[in-house]
Structure 1
Amino acid sequence: MAFFIFNEVVKVKQSVNKLQPFFYICKKCLFYNFKSFYHPMKQRPIYTEPENCQDCYKCIRECPVKAIRIENNKAYIIAERCIYCGHCTQICPTGAKKIRDGVPAVKEILRQNKQVILSLAPSYASEFGNLPISSLIAAIKRLGFSGVSETALGAELVSAAVNEFLLHSPRSIYISSACPVVVEYIRKYAPEHISSLTPIFSPLLAHARFLKKQYGEEVKVIFAGPCIGKKTEADNFKDLVEIAITFKDLKMWMEKEGIQPENEKGEEMHFIPYNSGKGALYPVEGGMLAGIDGEDKKVIKMAFSGMENIQDVIRNLDDSPRKDTLFLELLSCKGGCINGPGKLSSSSLAIKRYDVTRKINSADRDKPLNLSDLTNYYTVDQQIEKEHYTENEILQALAAVGKTSAADELNCSGCGYDNCRDFARALLAGRAEENMCVSYMRKIAHDKATVLLQKIPAGVILADPDLKIVDMNRYAANLLGEETTLVYDASPGLQGVALEAICSFSALFGAALSTGKEIIERQIREGDKIWMLSIYNIQPHRLVFGLLQDLREPYGKTEWMMGKTKEVISKHMETVQKIACLLGENASYTDATLRAIMETMKGKE
């Protein structure tokens, strides 16, 4: 809005020559204010929209590092713990996990700079595979970019630097630093392997340095690809990369501008300064290894992808001296970057891999790249503190959710954590809330429902299709007579007892169950007793409850019963509804019972 208003003012005043310097200064200041407001570090690459979060804990279950904090039943990203793999943005069922949109900032950079080059990730071949390269480049340049270059050129620089490093390094285990997510994971969660990371820039940073050397330091570099981790790289290396956007961002931007790449001709368009070679294989699992020869020194090369696999590889990685050098290519996304969270296509990984390899087979670059200094040493992230809790603290946390013995630790993962003890540690760290424990909340629900059933000042009987009692309160037993009360005392709830054994109106329950129609206020006489019976559906044909009232009771007691029922509802219904939601039910049977009582009593009045 500020830019719109300012631009309109400029249009009005631009004819006044003496004001031109003033407007130039203002426009420059306004841009800097915009940068300070929109600076990528102000908003993390992944964030939560709280209104969309439905408290399902799926992001906790799926997050490889549990970088989620639950606050007021909403799941938020813990920035200092997050490795920005982006997996949560793919599996969140409600879309509450969002990827930061960098397009507004890119647009402003394009407005302010003449030379802005787009560094296009090599996985573009699997996203725009059927589109002529010249058409894609033409469409991108219509957005305002001065040129488009392949990030794969940086990958080739990295391969050359890694080859040189391995040649002159002692025999050991080395891990590629090409994937920013893997680098973040090691910095935060496996610091013992920080020295194993090859001290070399990632392909994106290497490419940015190459472009600045080629076209001048004033050139601005923007990245587009399927990786969210690249956003953190751009945030941390502002001198090389201005900002990173995803392929999804790029496509939506084109659509908003009315640009259709397939309609762009662009016969003269090409990548600058030239096409890539083997570096284009980097986005597929094992693709980097194609550029690591190890001919002068025996190097055993291995590739692993997917954070679960990587965690297994790193967990017990022994870096003791060996006869050979071991080089590990680790990519956080299963199958490689072609399966990144910012991808466009959801086609088979085999097809995507084919599209990438087909592109490399047709590459015609034969110009050598100039190798500049790509050294970059990685340090341990000191933000992550090891959480050490005593056994007594863990036991206290478990007791807070009703787990007082080993038998209570179900390890069901309903809370999102792998086991109850991990959940207890999260409780102690302030990342979790007690109501995340499903078994604990189920117990609370059962206990509250039982209390509610007993406190209701009317007889309540729940029956199943076999006309057997599912549950019943003491008030109903008292209404049915002393013998029933004695049996109830011996077996509270009378679960499984045949209805016809304790009352004369079991046929009414049978009729309600078989027809699915509710029975409202049927008067029943049995000797000197007069009752009012209403039967309501909880699950038609499967579960009904009967509400039994003694018509001989004075109106004052009925009014008291109404008041008590309202009190019970106001105090407990919020909790019951919360439990019902947590357990995936449509409604609590207690909720239905209480509301039916209210409706019945209102009808009587």
Structure 2
Amino acid sequence: MSFINFTEARCKNCYKCLRECPVKGIRFKDNQAEIVEERCIACGKCFEVCPQEARKIDTDLSKVKECISNGKKVIVSLAPSALGYFDMNFVELISRIKMLGFQEVRETAEGAQFVIQKYREHVEASEDKIFITSCCPSVNYLIRIYFPHLTKYLMPFESPMIVHGLMIKEEQPDAKVVFIGPCVGKKIEKEQLKKKESVDYVITFDELKLWFEEMTESTYEIDESINGDITEGRKFPVDRGIVMGLADNLNNKGIKPYVVDGFQKNLDIFNSISKGKLKNAFVEANICIGSCIGGPSMGIRERDFYESNDKVERFITEYENNTMEIKSELGNKNYFKSHPESPLHDEEVSREEINRVLKDMGKNNEEDKLNCGVCGYTTCEEKAVAIIRGMAEKDMCLHYMRSKAESLSNIIFENTVNSVIIVDGELNILEMNPTAQKTFMAKIGEYRGVPLASLMDDSDFKEVLQTKENIEGKTVENNQYGVVFKENISYLEKQDVLIGVMMNITEEKKNKKELYDVKEKTLDAAQEVIEKQMRVAQEIAGLLGETTAETKIILNRLRRVVAGENGAEK
């Protein structure tokens, strides 16, 4: 079932898919939704409601196109509900589909006609008193997984889609069969055929619509030779479409018909059967509200359900008198189907484990268990069990996350060393944290709703409000309170509030001034020392100059004495 899931990039954790999922078969891990195969009944409701369209469905569209382009014989099995989806009549629709390159377009109603005959024979021959139709794959999965003890009551026949594929393959073994319908569950049903030679590909009405959009009006023409010779098999997609064909048989056996659509009605009637309260019942069961007309690929959210249903019923009535002989047997007998049980095997969860998880989410008493359903689970205890089983995360609880966020923000707000002041668009004080109250010697109870100007200079706040440009890291001296701030002011436009965060840098400023004074005194002292050294050097130089002059005089005198003595000797 891996070919239907959610795309990782687009999941926004709104939990809408989980709220819609009737069996809670969606796991959330690391804030990503994931369909759990063994729990899913393939109803497609999660895809219908996803606001991000985060759906990932493997499509056979390209494979079908490739078969046609390669010249293979490709035959369509078209579900009767198509007339409720497309805004065209029967002949126009068949003509347009044929122009896509299909060799034949046949109606799945042929298979439905065969199935309803087998239903009649089974009811007449069986000694059972309870019967459940097996045409809807999602009903089959629901029973096999969640009511496995009821599988014995499921009709032992393949669905009209599979039977029709068998019929076509028996007639034309070399053909490729493409079922076109309103149900994503049919994709899974096709995958579970195992070795049966039946339907090869499944595409939905949505996918066919995309293919039509690639065509131009000039690429197809209406085939007037098309007729609609099929009878009650077309009634399958509408409420009571099956029981109407079995009315006489059920009446003869004293069996009361029940028609249920939508998950809750199915759940109710299966519970009733399980408890032994409902007997002698033939249940026409469809998981979609309004039967196949309400299928996940019918686009009912964009279309009017009653209009679509009326179109299909008019189509049935229009060709009601046209009869077509449907073969009463298939040579290979592959239309029989077993319904193996596939029950879940969830481990039991203890009361202690549940209480531990509830406590972790801050749900310590009954008042804390809001059971709001925002997370997708009906009760907080159901959510706790899902967490223990790895299907959910604590962070999915809105109230838990809100309490966690408020607690953390309150801690930060109450304990930050910076002054924080919050004012509204008219510059009236909304909130002050304890640091701001201490710095400005003001109690919030006395100043809440009072203009900021009564407490401090509000010119910077006005500037931010007018320009919508935040102030970051501005140094402001507030002589009134003897403090110096590093100021950050931000405007939150959606909330129309301004937040001022002021870091007290008075001590830092003071320390810088003291350091500057020390440096200045040091420079002055150094200057004085240098000047003294220069004076000493000058004095030394003066003394050295006098001594040198005297030495020179004495030297000259000695030179003359020596010169005189030398002359006398001569």
Residue 552 of structure 1: CA displacement?
2.8
> Is the contact between residue 230 and residue 324 of structure 2 (CA under 8 Å) also seen in structure 1?
no
Check 1:550–1:143 CA distance in 2 against 1; reply closer, same or farther (3 A cut). Answer: closer
Deviations 1:31-53 (A, max 9, x none): xxxxxxxxxx7x52x22111111
Aligned to 1:564: none
> Deviation at 1:456?
3.3
Amino acid at match of 1:526: Q
- 1:580 counterpart residue number: none
- 2:307 corresponds to: 351
- Residue 230 of structure 1 deviates from its aligned partner by 0.9
User: 2:316 is matched with which residue?
Assistant: 360
The Cα of 1:540 is off from its aligned counterpart by: 6.8
Partner secondary structure for residue 12 of structure 2: coil
SS in 2 for 1:292: helix
1:349 maps to a residue whose letter is: F
User: Does 2:346 align with 1:390?
Assistant: no
Contact 1:468 1:495 survives alignment (8 Å): no
Deviation of 1:298 (Å)? 2.7
Shifted more, 308-317 versus 436-445: the winner is: 308-317
The reply on whether 1:206 has 2:166 as its aligned counterpart is: no
Amino acid aligned to 1:243: Y
Corresponding residue for 1:130?
Answer: 88
Matched, 1:254 2:208: no
Q: Which amino acid aligns with 2:436?
A: A
Question: Are the counterparts in 1 of residues 427 and 451 from structure 2 also a CA contact under 8 Å?
Answer: no
Q: Which amino acid aligns with 1:298?
A: G
Give the Cα–Cα distance (whole angstroms) in 2 for the partners of residues 496 and 338 of structure 1: 65
Equivalent residues in 2 for 1:219-230, closer than 5 Å: 219-230=175-186
Counterpart of 2:286 in structure 1 is: 331
RMSD: 3.3
Report the count of equivalent residues.
Answer: 498
Indicate the residue corresponding to 1:596 in structure 2.
Answer: none
| Alignment match of 2:336 (pick from 372, 375, 388) | 375
1:303–1:408 CA distance, 2 compared to 1 (3 A)? same
Aligned pairs (5 A) from 1:183-202: 183-202=140-159
Select the residue among 269, 274, 290 that pairs with 2:244: 290
Partner residue in 1 for 2:259:
303
Structure 1 unaligned regions, length at least 5: 1-40, 488-493, 559-605
Alignment check: 8 A CA contact 1:60 1:66 kept:
yes
Partner in structure 2 of residue 278 of structure 1: 232
Paired residues of 1:47 and 1:99 also in contact (CA < 8 A): yes
Give the 3 Å change call, closer, same or farther, for CA 367–464 of structure 1 in structure 2. closer
- For the pair 1:425 / 2:385, whether they are aligned, the reply is yes
Q: Equivalent residue for 1:19?
A: none
Query: Which deviates more from structure 2 when the two are superposed, residues 519-528 or residues 237-246?
Result: 519-528
> Aligned equivalents of 1:316 and 1:513: distance in 2?
71
Alpha-carbon deviation of 1:505? 1.8
**1:78 partnered with 2:28:** no
Task: Decide which moves more: 413-422 or 287-296.
Answer: 287-296
Once residues 352 and 130 of structure 2 are traced to their aligned partners in structure 1, the CA distance between those partners, rounded to angstroms, is 39
Change (3 A) 1:542 1:507: farther
Contact 1:397 1:424 in 2 (8 A): yes
Does the 8 Å contact 1:139/1:259 carry over to 2?
A: no
Preserved contact between residue 222 and residue 241 of structure 1 (Cα < 8 Å):
yes
Matched, 1:153 2:114: no
Matches within 5 A, 1:66-105: 66-105=24-63
8 Å Cα contact 1:177-1:200 kept in structure 2: yes
Any gaps of 5 or more consecutive residues in structure 2? 513-570
Matched-pair contact (CA < 8 Å) for 1:467–1:510: no
Say yes or no: does 1:498 pair with 2:457: no
SS of corresponding position for 2:307: helix
- Give the match for residue 13 of structure 1: none
Whole-angstrom distance in 1 between the partners of 2:104 and 2:90: 16
Q: CA deviation at 1:277?
A: 0.6
Bigger mean CA deviation after superposition, 83-92 or 102-111: 102-111
Shift in Å, 1:551? 5.5
Q: In the TM superposition, what whole-angstrom CA distance separates every residue of 1:421-477 from its partner, at most 9, and x where no partner exists?
A: 111111111121222111111122112212322443321122457987654323223
The reply to whether residue 169 of structure 1 matches residue 123 of structure 2 is no
Distance in structure 2 (CA, Å) of the matches to 1:139 and 1:190:
43
Give yes or no for contact 2:420–2:501 (8 Å, CA) kept in 1: yes
**Structure 1's 502 and 292: CA in aligned 2 closer, same or farther, altered over 3 A?**
same
Deviation string for 1:552-597 (max 9, x for gaps)? 3314999xxxxxxxxxxxxxxxxxxxxxxxxxxxxxxxxxxxxxxx
Identity over aligned pairs, percent: 31
| Counterpart residue type for residue 115 of structure 1 | K
Distance in 1 of aligned mates of 2:200 and 2:292: 21
For 2:303 and 2:131, the matched residues in 1 are separated by 33
SS in 1 for 2:239: coil
> How far does the alpha carbon of each residue in 1:7-63 deviate from its partner, in whole angstroms, 9 at most, with x for none?
xxxxxxxxxxxxxxxxxxxxxxxxxxxxxxxxxx7x52x221111111211111111
Q: Which residues of 2 match residues 27-42 of structure 1 at below 5 A? A: none
Q: CA deviation at 1:211?
A: 2.2
Partner residue, 1:567: none
Residue 552 of structure 1 corresponds to: 506
Cα contact 2:84–2:293 (8 A) shared by 1: yes
| Equivalent position amino acid for 1:75 in 2 | A
1:164 aligned partner, one-letter code? E
Q: Kindly tell me: are residues 219 and 501 of structure 1, through their superposed partners in 2, closer, same or farther at Cα, counting changes over 3 Å?
A: closer
Q: Which amino acid aligns with 1:117?
A: I
Change (3 A) 1:61 1:474: same
**Alignment-mate amino acid for residue 139 of structure 1:** R
Greater Cα radius of gyration, structure 1 or 2: 2
Which residue, out of 297, 310, 319, partners 1:342? 297
| Structure-1 separation of matches of 2:275 and 2:149 | 10
**1:268-305 Cα deviation digits (max 9, x unpaired):** 3457xxx3211111111222222112243233212121
Verify the 8 A CA contact 1:194 1:378 in the aligned structure 2. Answer: yes
Aligned equivalents of 2:366 and 2:151: distance in 1?
A: 37
Instruction: Output the CA distance in 2 between the equivalents of 1:496 and 1:337.
Output: 66
CA deviations over 1:497-522 (Å, ceiling 9, x no partner)? 53659994268499859976679666
> Which aligned pairs between 1:400-415 and structure 2 lie closer than 5 A?
400-415=360-375
Q: CA deviation at 1:86?
A: 1.0
Q: Is 1:543 equivalent to 2:497 in the alignment?
A: yes
Is 1:245 matched up with 2:203? yes
Distance 1:504 1:284 in 2: 73
Instruction: State the alpha-carbon separation in 1 of the partners of residues 493 and 225 from structure 2.
Output: 69
- CA 1:104/1:429 → structure 2, altered by over 3 Å: closer, same or farther? same
- Find the aligned partners of 2:201 and 2:32 in 1 and give their Cα distance: 29
Partner SS state of residue 257, structure 2: strand
For residue 298 of structure 2, what is the amino acid of its counterpart? K
Between 173-182 and 204-213, report the one with greater CA deviation: 204-213
**Shift of residue 321, structure 1, vs aligned partner:** 8.3
Which residues of 2 match residues 586-601 of structure 1 at below 5 A?
Answer: none
Residues 399/144 of structure 1: CA separation in 2 closer, same or farther (3 Å cut): same
